Structure 1
Amino acid sequence: MHFTFGSPYLLALLLLLPCFLWCKQYSKPYYFPKLAWVTRQSPLLSWEPWLKMALFTLMVFALAKPFVYDASSDQHKKGRDLVLAIDASGSMAQSGFHVKDRFKTKYEITTELSKDFIAKRFDDNMGVVVFGTFAYTASPLTYDLESLSYLLEMTNVGLAGESTALGDAIMQSIRTLSYGEAQNKVIILLTDGYHNAGQSSPKEAVSKAKELGIKIYTIGIGKKSDYDVSLLETIAKQSGAKSYAASSAEALSKVYDEINALEPSAIRSENYLNQRVLILYPLVLVFILLLLWVLGTRRSEK
């Protein structure tokens, strides 16, 4: 169990505690014929200011809304395990994919839009697989999405070879997802070519994904004549997902927005699960101390 405050900034009121000892109080003047009859006592030796300080502290604690919560609930992520499988074959070096910036390659634009997509995922446990002639995990599953985006920037066209191994890309994504514990597992496969390399066939890889309950969203980059539309549609359909065509940077951005809507990521908030509010405890102590104070004052008056 962890302990925290709902309004911790109110604890700043505790800085006023020294006033109970040192701040001057209004007092009614009394006159004595002899100074010897007046006792001088330090406020540090009197029980009354200390009692007032205790009451004030308990009331501040109550205002700050103390509560305990389950530590495992705070650390648990509500999102899904998601892998971006991005084609880095030679054809992704082609330019002209962006209407306003013709010099940027398809791969550069894809990684830029992928970073925007990553930033919106909040509680997802995400990884990146880059593939060409072979596939490799550029980043394992992580909740550190800023680092994930940074690692994505370090990849480039041709790092995994010039061909397109769609089967290996899916199999490597499945291996990457195997380290996650979320119930929902998703692969987003982006490619601009035909399957022409690798050790695993797309059929074998999709069968494995289907067996494990992993959805595979497929995105064809560029002209439809450049990639295997039929294969991408089959991969998505058999895994229970959807296939998309992105002929431009604007189209790819819209595809990512739609996937965001289909696979929403829970927004991280300040809410805690299994919380138990403790406001009642300091208030009960305040009531008890006030009762004892009143009883003690009445006895001294008698």
Structure 2
Amino acid sequence: MKNLATETKKILKDYNIRLNKRLGQHYLIDDSKRQKILSYADLKDDDTILEIGPGIGTLTIPLASRAGKVIAIEKDKRIATILKDRLKDYENVELIIGDALKIDFPYFNKIVSNLPYKISSPITFKLLEYDFDFGILMYQREFAERMIAKPGTKDYSRLSVALYFMADIEILDYVPRSAFLPPPKVDSVILKLTPKGKINGIFERTCRALFQHKRKKARNALIESFHEISADADPRKIVELIDPRLLEKRVFTLTAEEILKISNELKRVIS
């Protein structure tokens, strides 16, 4: 049996396909990492798996062999043609040709994907609008480290704070750039994403306002970016009504719970 790297190169050559790095087209060619992803997914006969960016079916085909149904969403029409050919013996795969950021997802209970890195942030937040058991996902290592960053660290960001409340995130394995064709400029990780809860609009807007000035004190950050929260209120008057102990802290040192407290106080005083 051909190894995954040889098989991938042959398929691309047969169909005269050149992968586009700009579109984040990097195909997994390390079969040991593929087997780990499948193992982490704990696939069952009654699972409906969502896969975003299936490419030529590196994960799709083994997923279809083990799960009840696979919904594969591929944006590149040329690549989708290859995938359709390769899936002709699999009746349990629904192939959707389109932009995953723009379409509504059908029912799924797990997501397993080597996500296109260009859309890591928006696709993660879109996924977390849905109820599902968990996802086994590939991300760029730097992005994954921002997802789980702690207060006071250089990677701590609006992303870290929002995801703290929205999901449990566990890094399962590290994947070197050599595991892909063509190799990206960065290493990757496989992580488990388990939905935990939703966040409200005022919290999201408070995070956006604060993290536009992450090195400043929370008081100054809020005043300077208060337009993100409300266009009507006087920011200087509003911040005087917030707990001063929180506002004296620099934004990047605030815990997620402290930011939630600030947003709750803002909601109370604005309304």
So what's the TM-score if we normalise by structure 1?
Answer: 0.24
**Bigger Rg, structure 1 or 2:** 1
So what's the TM-score if we normalise by structure 2?
Answer: 0.26
